[in-house]
Amino acid sequence: MTEKKDYQTQQKLHHIVEALKEKKGQDILTINLEQSGSAFCDYFVICHGNSTTQVDALSHSVIRRLKKEMKETAHHIEGTNNSIWVLLDYSEILVHVFIEEKRSFYNLEDLWADGKLERVFEE
């Protein structure tokens, strides 16, 4: 049963990252929190856009792709009213899409540094 969950989580993570890359998300980072012992989810995915318009496009790209590819909808979505920091809650994966200045200010990468950080590079 956990193998199936792990596979589905990895597929979901893949689709999230690809959706962010498709809309030119900046500095995409995944943080594996499974071994941290203090997390309420398995992964954070963090990226930023250069404008609120791009943040909106990035978050909607993730929503559309997961709905299309995995028939998955977010359990909770927050921040779409101003698109400065959009949070998409997919249970085991939380997606944080920031405007660049807010990402620097909140610095989630350092707050969750006990997780395994992995930068996503364009191919």
Give the predicted TM-score (pTM) of the model. 0.91
- Answer whether 28's CB lies under 8 Å from 119's CB: yes
In this structure, are strands 43-49 and 93-99 parallel, antiparallel, or unpaired? parallel
Domains with residue ranges and CATH for the chain: 2-119 (3.30.460.10)
What confidence tens digit (pLDDT) does each residue in 76-119 have?
Answer: 999 999 999 999 999 999 999 999 999 999 998 888 877 888 89
What confidence tens digit (pLDDT) does each residue in 27-70 have?
Answer: 999 999 887 666 688 999 999 999 999 999 999 999 999 999 99
Side by side, which strands form the sheet with 76-78?
A: 76-78, 85-90, 93-99, 43-49, 26-32, 116-119
Give residue 75's Cα distance to chain centre.
14
Closest CA to 83 of 68, 96, 72, 73: 96
